[in-house]
Amino acid sequence: MPHPETTPKSAAETIPSVEELEALERRLVFRRFTYDDAWALGSLLVELARERQVPVAIDIHRAGQQLFHAALPGSTPDNDAWIIRKRRVVERYGASSYLVGARFRAKGTTFEASSRLDPDAYAAHGGAFPITVEDVGVVGTVTVSGLPQLQDHRLVAEALERFLGR
């Protein structure tokens, strides 16, 4: 049986283009990112996940330090492994894990086939976003795992848009 991270919810789900994904990331930029911001963003993600009763794990890292982690009912240790692999993609490429995967797919290949990175250490599946601070760059990551990859991606994007007031 396919893992939820790799299974699309439905064929009707609209797949965003690389250009749409890049535009979203250009919009989702912080003025600053503090410990309190990590707590507030993580708490917002927990609230959204609880409202929807989805079995996710949530993680926020900055400069190599875990600032927030939550595992909701139904999530498993496997979700933490996915978080680590997706976070590594963001740290390496400076873009969301879903966007990185989409860029490979747009070239007619896959991340696994063409990145030359160990798939046990890196996963270009949706759900990890860069925490980008204006005039600084990427300082951390926010990651969700437990849903099909596009849903993970959209949950994080929605939380970032709400948090940033966009």
For 7-59, the pLDDT digits (tens) are 444 444 799 999 999 999 999 999 999 999 999 999 999 999 999 999 999 99
Residues with Cβ < 8 Å from 35, sequence gap 6 or more?
Answer: 67
Q: Mind listing the pLDDT tens digit for each residue in 70-93?
A: 999 999 999 999 999 999 999 999
Q: Is the pLDDT of residue 116 over 60?
A: yes
Residue 1: what pLDDT? 33
**Is-above-0.95 flag for pTM?**
no
Residue 125: name the closest of 146, 107, 150, 142 by CA: 150
pLDDT at 133: 98
CB-side exposure of 16: number of CA atoms within 13 Å? 20
Tell me what pLDDT residue 11 has: 44
